[in-house]
Structure formats: structure tokens, C-alpha cells
Amino acid sequence: MGAAVSSMHYTGMAAVSVRVNPSSAELPGATAMQFILRLAVGLGSYLFLTSAFVALSPTAREREADATAVRLAGTEPVH
């Protein structure tokens, strides 16, 4: 399977012909800073929320202590 994929890739790459025409026209789309800003804000938000979730999650020791306290009190746990 690996040999088939590799040979098809190299066969296709050998058949490609690219012509580059230099141009001074500005390309449409986001600038590098706009892209990096969105990427940084998105990744930063994700990492912050994930870190907060992990930091605020009870540890195994805390869960065990809660279960012991509930068992000793004879009441149902509050969720």
C-alpha cells in the first residue's frame, strides 16, 4: 500500500507543470498579522479554558474525601 501511494504521488508530481508569472498586484485575503492575531486569540482562549477546567476539577483525593463524607453522613451527594 505504501509503495502504491508513493509511486502514484511521484507519478503525479512528475506530470505537473507550473509557470510562475511575477506580479506586483496585492493578493486578496488576510494579512499575516490578521491571521496570526486570530490564531493567537483562538489558541490562547482554548488553552486558558482547558487549563481552567483542569485546575478546577477535583482531584482523586478530593473525590474520595467527598464520597467518604457522604457515606458517613448517610445523605445523597449534591451535584
Residue 25: CB atoms within 10 A of its CB come to: 5
Residue 34: all three cell numbers together = 490578521
pLDDT in the model for residue 14 = 92
Distance CA(43)–CA(37), nearest Å, equals 10
Distance CA(79)–CA(71), nearest Å, equals 15
Query: What tens digit of pLDDT does each residue of 3-55 get?
Result: 999 999 999 999 999 898 888 888 788 888 988 999 999 999 999 999 999 99
Residue 41: all three cell numbers together = 486569540
Helix ranges (DSSP H) in the chain: 2-15, 32-56, 60-73
